[in-house]
Amino acid sequence: MDTRAFKRSLHHSERYNRRGFGLGEEVAGSLQTAYQSDLIATLRENGHTLQRGRLTVRLAEAFGFCWGVERAVAMAYETRRHYPSERIWITNEIIHNPSVNDHLRQMNVLFIPVEGGVKDFSDVARGDVVILPAFGATVQEMQLLNERGCHIVDTTCPWVSKVWNTVEKHKKHAFTSIIHGKVKHEETLATSSFAGTYLVVLDLAEAQMVCDYILGRGTADRDAFMARFAKACSPGFDPDRDLFRVGVANQTTMLKSETEEIGRLVERTMLERFGPVELNEHFLAFNTICDATQERQDAMFSLVDEPLDLMVVIGGYNSSNTTHLQEIAVSRGIRSFHIDTPERIGPGNRIEHMPLGAELAVEDPFLPDGPIRVGITSGASTPDRVVEDVIERLIGLTC
Catalytic residues: 187
Pairing of strands 88-90, 109-111: parallel
Of 35, 174, 99, nearest in space to 340 by CA = 99
CA separation for the pair 386, 101 (Å, rounded): 13
Burial label for 211, CB within 10 Å (0-12, 13-18, 19+), is buried
Contact 377, 319 (CB under 8 A): no
Pairing of strands 351-353, 361-363: antiparallel
The whole-angstrom separation of Cα 136 and Cα 187 is: 6
User: Kind of pairing, strands 55-59 and 88-90?
Assistant: unpaired
Query: To the nearest 10°, the Cα dihedral for 328, 331, 335, 336?
Result: 30
Alpha-carbon distance of 295 to 290, in angstroms, equals 9
Are residues 366 and 393 in contact, defined by beta-carbon separation less than 8 angstroms? no
